Amino acid sequence: MFGVQERYDVPSSPAVVIKGPPGNRRGRRAVIGNKSGATALPDTVVMTGLLVAVAEKRDKDAFAKLFAHYAPRIKSYLMRQGANQASADELSQEAMLSVWRKADRFDANKASAGTWIFTVARNLRIDALRKERRPNFDPEDPAFVPEAEIAPDHALEIGQTQVRIKAAVATLPPEQAEVIRLSFYQDKPHGEIAEELGLPLGTVKSRLRLAMRRVRTALGEKE
């Protein structure tokens, strides 16, 4: 078992004053709730539209909707990763604040809102719960090797990507789905997952590879 993080140090940031609840926000939330027709669109398209509105128009109503959808998911994700309730509450607010601050880096052609917000939560978790840095590549790096132009007919729409991934996940063989879920929801190295399942490490790794291959194939890569 991983240790449950009992406390978490607030990352050093400029003092942030939390004001009292400013006015009645509930009314505002209700207003943005239901635009006719919006419910017919898949969630991922709606959420991505909201995130674009935050990035382009600094739209607080859109942000409130994103918060209502994602803050409870970030909290759940963090608690599964070993955060206690208090730090999960605090960190999910921090994560959503990061979403607001970094929204201009979101590229709707590259990821869905859910995927991008996941990466924000993931990075915050590694920093705050695991107290490690997360090395990442940087396209501005002089040593960066850029991709060749993607042929347009090979590029999938992001909405389509998520739909296909959803279908691929739903049809994963149970033993592959199990290792994918375990490694996603718990911050455990493959060796610990193997121990927990009573499997050789090589089996866990090959199941992860097979699951990844299915996802890659579902997204149009040749086998």
Partner 1 sequence: MNASHHPSDDLLWSYASGSLDEPSSILIATHLALCPACRGVVAKAESLSGELFEDIQPLDVDASALDSVLARLDDEDDEKFETVPQISDAQHDALGVPRPLKDYLPNELGNLPWRWLGPGVHYSAIETQARGPKVGLLRIAPGTKVPMHGHSGNEMTMVLTGGYTDATGSFQRGDVEAADDGLVHQPVADKGEECICLVVTEGELQPTGMIAKVLQPFFRI
Q: Give the shortest CB-66-to-partner 1 separation in angstroms.
A: 10
Choices 4-12, 31-39, 166-174; region in contact with partner 1 by CB under 8 A: 166-174
- How far are the Cα atoms of 48, 55, 103, 157 from residue 113, in angstroms, in the given order? 5, 11, 10, 13
Backbone phi and psi for residue 16, each to the nearest 5 degrees, phi listed first: -115, 125
Choices 4-12, 32-40, 205-213; region in contact with partner 1 by CB under 8 A: 205-213
What is the DSSP-derived secondary structure letter of residue 148? Answer: P
Rounded Cα distance, 29 and 107, in Å: 26
Contact residue for partner 1 among 32, 52, 108, 169 (CB under 8 A): 169
Amino acid in the structure at residue 223: E
Contact residue for partner 1 among 76, 157, 160, 200 (CB under 8 A): 76
Q: Does 83 bind partner 1 (CB under 8 A)?
A: no
Counting Cα atoms < 13 Å in the Cβ hemisphere of 127 gives: 16
Q: Does 137 bind partner 1 (CB under 8 A)?
A: yes
Q: Does 147 bind partner 1 (CB under 8 A)?
A: yes
Nearer to partner 1, 40 or 170 (CB): 170
Counting Cα atoms < 13 Å in the Cβ hemisphere of 181 gives: 10
Residues 110-129 that bind partner 1 (CB under 8 A): 110-112, 114-119, 121-123, 125-126
Contact residue for partner 1 among 25, 41, 171, 200 (CB under 8 A): 25
Q: Does 96 bind partner 1 (CB under 8 A)?
A: yes
Q: Does 166 bind partner 1 (CB under 8 A)?
A: yes
How many residues at the interface with partner 1, by CB under 8 A?
Answer: 96
Nearer to partner 1, 36 or 67 (CB): 67
Nearer to partner 1, 38 or 60 (CB): 60
Rounded Cα distance, 145 and 125, in Å: 28
3-class secondary structure, 5: strand
Rounded Cα distance, 170 and 164, in Å: 10
Structure tokens belonging to residue 169 = 């996940």
